[in-house]
């Protein structure tokens, strides 16, 4: 008897099968969000509010406070890097 995946069970599809680990999904999400925001020249204030809210939600999902700081710092670094690359 096989197991079936519900079509809108994005947690199981993205986290369990696509990336295989919850922490990898969080890092992937922050990298993609920061890169897109930096590429499209989002303002710093709006980006920092977005990264703080999303990192807080993702860190509480895992239940670790250290993850929050790592996600925020990585997000800001990636955002600044892509913002400078798209300016040139």
The per-residue pLDDT for range 3-46, each reduced to its tens digit, is 777 777 766 766 666 666 667 777 788 888 888 888 888 888 99
Please state, in angstroms and rounded to a whole number, the distance separating the CA atoms of residues 86 and 15.
30
Q: Is residue 45 part of a domain?
A: yes
Query: Which two tokens mark 25?
Result: 């999904």
Query: Does any domain span residue 4?
Result: no
Q: Is residue 1 part of a domain?
A: no
The answer to whether position 28 is within a domain reads: yes
For the entire predicted model, the pTM comes to 0.68
Q: Evaluate whether residue 3 is within a structural domain.
A: no
Helix/strand/coil percent split, the chain, to 5: 80, 0, 20
- 38-64 pLDDT, tens digit per residue, is 888 888 899 899 888 888 887 777 777
Total of domains in the chain? 1
The secondary element (H helix, E strand) that includes residue 43 is none
Closest alpha carbon to 56 in 46, 43, 69: 69
66: domain range?
11-87
């Amino acid at each position: 008897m096989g197991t079936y995946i519900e079509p809108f069970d994005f947690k199981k599809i993205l986290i369990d099968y696509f990336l295989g680990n919850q922490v990898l999904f969080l890092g992937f999400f922050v990298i993609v969000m920061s890169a897109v925001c930096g590429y499209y020249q989002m303002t710093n204030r709006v980006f920092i509010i977005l990264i703080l809210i999303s990192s807080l939600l993702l860190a509480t999902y895992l239940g670790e406070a250290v993850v929050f700081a790592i996600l925020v710092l990585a997000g800001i670094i990636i955002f600044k890097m892509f913002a400078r690359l798209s300016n040139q």
